[in-house]
Structure 1
Amino acid sequence: MTDDFPRRPLGATGLHVTPVCVGGGPLGSMPDVFGYDVSTERGTETAVAALTGPFNFLDTAAGYSDGESERRIGAALARIGGVPEGFVLATKVDRDFATGDFSGDQVRRSAEGSLQRLGLDRLPLVYLHDPEHISFEEGMAPGGAVEALVALQREGLIAHLGVAGGPVELMARYLRTGVFAALITHNRWTLVDRSAGDLIDEAVSLGVGVVNGAPFGGGVLAKGTAQVGNYAYREADDEVLRRIRAMEEACAAYGVPLGAAALQFSLRDPRVASTIVGVSRPERIAETARLATVDIPEELWQTLAPLTAPRESWLY
């Protein structure tokens, strides 16, 4: 089934990925973030669906649910007999959430834990996750997080390195080091927020593969303002909500789900190799595939374009 969607090159990594990447955060159960629980069996079944469905790219992190997302993916891999040929499984190294430690030693512990939980002897793609929790200087210092990642790659435990985080200028600084072959930006390239536009341009100019996370802004661009009042997991300001309500009305007038427009906004950007959509149920895989292929008339895109929130409302 992984031939259903054409694959795109992920920068200069040599990896080719489908335009949608399945996000593994929800399948590990993160009720504080997503507002609901996911049982172990449902999470494992969702991971099986992700690994055997129409997309060949799955993203997780060591820190998602204290490793539970990786454990469930590892159980799914054991169930289906390993990583399918041509499938790209990505994870992230995390700080110690109890102490805040994001040293080189912590990065090594995080990566080694991922290998164990996933049941792998090598990780295809590993991102430095949310380095905004330390200074750039700390991250790049001798014995620091980046040096540890490079060492793990040199030792053959990691094939490709990426950086994943929020603040766009900090992400750009990490890309300029030349260490990273892939980037995840999240919540900052959506229908309503265009903070990452220059960052994405710079990544492409450097040959870095761009992965766009959270095209639904944490849910509001999929479920609508009647159900969700947050953007990027925080309370949205009134102007952002007003713009999204106008987008809802425009999409309804054309009979297009808001979620389809939000997803395809990212998918149709030639600079973006893949777009991450978090899933928590097996059936969400097929639902995401449908959203990715809904026919959207050019007139709707022209209507949505000026509804982007003003720059002062962007995250940056």
Structure 2
Amino acid sequence: MKKIQIGTSSIEASQLALGCMRMAGLSTEKAKEVVTASMEVGINFFDHADIYGDGESERLFGEVIRGLNVSRDQLYLQSKCGIRKGYYDFSKEHIISSVEGSLQRLQTDYLDVLALHRPDALMEPDEISEAFYKLKKSGKVRFFGVSNFAPSTVELLQQSLSDKLIVNQLQFGLQHAGMVSTNMNVNMENETGINRDGSVLDYMRLKQLTVQAWSPYQFGYFDGVFINHPDFKELNDCLQSIANRYQVTPTVIATSWINRHPANIQTIVGSMNPERIKEISQSTSVELTRQEWYELYQASGFKLL
């Protein structure tokens, strides 16, 4: 498994991370199989959030890790907070309380990364800074990041922080490639040229924040998976053709397409199927050519000028 540096931190983690949102509802034995399969292929970074299964995903993961007797320094644990029922909350009290709950459920003394889950329109950067400072000083959080943040919101928050943010989770994949298509249509009077994200991908590279790609195989707003979907015949034909060249599966190629981008993206894999996790792990060994990358981009419905 290829390792990448996470932001400007000291973390050297697997390029693939396991997203644990769907872990809630699994039996302890099934969850153990998922975590074991992930570690066997070299995944050492696990992404959580306090709202996943109302905390059940974290609780189950903590139980599994304790049962496996895995040394804490072999894992990187990330959790997110800020989403509450009906509103977002970046208050100092809620951030600290959320971390305390996550630590208890995960059965650990610290998080490697804490990320703010969705932008809170009422956020007070100085208040967030106080929460982060307290968590860092107490040893409960090593590094901090954000999720679904625009460049300007990152800047607004960063100016109050003593520590540099290291990650921003963003949806990215073959059916969510607006982050790259906008810049290739700059100054064009077409739909693709509309800048909806403030050139967030370039900004992440300039500021050396790691992009963590979530839901990489989805299309629309959780409408489904595009791989083997009849509505995406051109894309799937292209995926299969390239997969045949490398003797892997279309899912591996769809993941390799993300890995190929020079932003050094960390892809969050949300599968709870051990065999599928093993399959996807092959993606970090496949280096797509520039031509293949663009073939897939265009087969996804994005056109070059």
For the superposition of Structure 1 and Structure 2, which TM-score range results when normalised by the shorter chain? Answer: 0.7 to 0.9
Moved more, 204-213 or 260-269: 204-213
**Residue equivalent to 2:123:** 139
**Residue equivalent to 1:207:** 208
Equivalence map 1:106-117=2 (5 Å): 106-117=94-105
Equivalence map 1:187-266=2 (5 Å): 187=171, 189-197=172-180, 198-217=199-218, 220-221=224-225, 223-226=227-230, 241=231, 244-256=232-244, 257-266=249-258
Equivalence map 1:65-84=2 (5 Å): 65-84=53-72
Alpha-carbon deviation of 1:276?
0.8
**Residue equivalent to 2:165:** 181
Residue 135 of structure 2, aligned match among 135, 152, 155: 152
**Residue equivalent to 2:4:** 8
CA contact (8 A) 1:211 1:272 kept: no
Q: Runs in 1 of length 4+ with deviation above 6 angstroms?
A: none
**Residue equivalent to 2:145:** 162
TM-score (norm 1): 0.76
**Residue equivalent to 1:35:** none
Residue 116 of structure 2 aligns to a residue whose secondary structure is strand
CA contact (8 A) 2:7 2:167 kept: no
Residue 280 of structure 2, aligned match among 288, 299, 302: 288
Q: 1:101 to 1:152 in 2, by over 3 A?
A: same
Residue 123 of structure 2 aligns to a residue whose secondary structure is helix
CA contact (8 A) 2:37 2:278 kept: no
CA distance in 1, matches of 2:101, 2:160: 26
Alpha-carbon deviation of 1:300?
3.4
Residue 290 of structure 2 corresponds to residue 306 of structure 1: no
Q: 1:271 to 1:295 in 2, by over 3 A?
A: closer
CA distance in 1, matches of 2:261, 2:160: 25
Letter in 1 for 2:168: I
CA distance in 2, matches of 1:306, 1:114: 42
CA deviations over 1:78-133 (Å, ceiling 9, x no partner): 112244544312111233326654422111111000110111111111111112xx
**Residue equivalent to 2:269:** 277
Q: 1:203 to 1:299 in 2, by over 3 A?
A: closer
Residue 253 of structure 1 aligns to a residue whose secondary structure is helix
Alpha-carbon deviation of 1:67?
0.8
Letter in 2 for 1:258: P
Alpha-carbon deviation of 1:194?
2.5
> How many matched pairs?
277
Q: Which runs of 5+ in 1 are unaligned?
A: 30-37, 227-240, 312-316
CA distance in 1, matches of 2:150, 2:83: 17
